[in-house]
Amino acid sequence: MRRCIPVWLLLTLLFFIPNTAHSQTRFFERGDSGFTGSWGYLSEVNYLGYHDTGARASYTHKGLFDVGIGIGYDEYDKDFKYATKGLFTNVVLYRPRGGADIGLEAKGRYSAKTTSLSFRDPRFEKTENSTFQTGLRGFFHHPFGSKSGMILGLGAYYRFNKHQVLDVYDEVSIGHDYGEFGFISDLHFLVWGIVHLSTGVEYAQDNLYTDKWEFGAFLSFGILIGRSSGQNGVNHD
């Protein structure tokens, strides 16, 4: 079935992904290639502490690495121009065959967001924020048969941020580069072999405004396409 997924479906899925550090979940086992699409709500540790909604999509190759893109909207502005847009990749570093299904993955993400300021202060036009985030995540997969299961993930990351305030001439009036450390715990459930539910909490630094450690949370749901009906990466199609 995986080999027959139409191109239009791939193109449709690739328009989605939220701006947080969510994992791919790792329900795709060794040998599985397919797509994940999801929609979620975030109360995120970020500048101004905005609440975001967004969608994401990713492609997983042979259960070994993922690539994806997506978009997130904050609660104050639903304009596509000012949405957060991101790219990410995850690479499995360790996942043994047989025995307990545990593993380790490396994660990377780039995101960018523009915010209009002209209605607040006529001297400034907008802010531009970009981030690059990298980290490690360990995970444990507990299957409930071949079509359902649970995954618990624990991870840590470092995020580099570039924050700029531009005037009406697109000149940088204020610029600030800063870094943040964070930790994330995520929990995922797979139902009927295709539907997944995800939730998690994040504890991270906010070095732009508060210089404190703060909590964030997320909740999302979506679908997986291309997962084998077998376990432990053994395909039966």
Residue 181 makes CB contacts below 8 A (sequence gap 6+) with 156, 157, 158, 159, 204, 205
Which range of residues forms the domain containing residue 168?
2-225
Other C-beta atoms closer than 10 Å to the C-beta of 69 total: 17
For the chain, how far is it from start to end, CA to CA, in angstroms? 8
Closest CA to 39 of 13, 75, 59, 6: 13
CA–CA gap between residue 175 and residue 173 (Å, rounded): 7
Q: Is residue 89 part of a domain?
A: yes
pLDDT in tens, the chain (237 residues): 344 444 444 444 333 333 443 446 789 888 899 999 999 887 665 544 556 788 889 999 998 999 999 888 877 777 788 888 999 999 999 988 766 789 999 999 999 988 877 666 667 778 889 999 999 999 999 988 878 999 999 999 999 999 998 887 777 888 889 999 999 999 999 999 999 999 999 999 988 878 889 888 888 999 999 887 554 443 333
CATH of the domain at 71: 2.40.128
Residue 139's beta-bridge partner residues? 103, 153
> Is 179 contained in some domain?
yes
The neighbouring-strand residues paired with 115 are 127
Rounded to two decimals, the pTM is 0.79
Domains in the chain: how many in total?
A: 1
Q: Between vectors from CA 19 to CA 197 and to CA 191, what angle results, nearest 5°?
A: 10
| Whether 23 contacts 36, CB under 8 Å | no
Question: What's the residue count for the chain?
Answer: 237
Is residue 233 in a domain? no
Beta pairing, strands 212-225 & 195-206? antiparallel
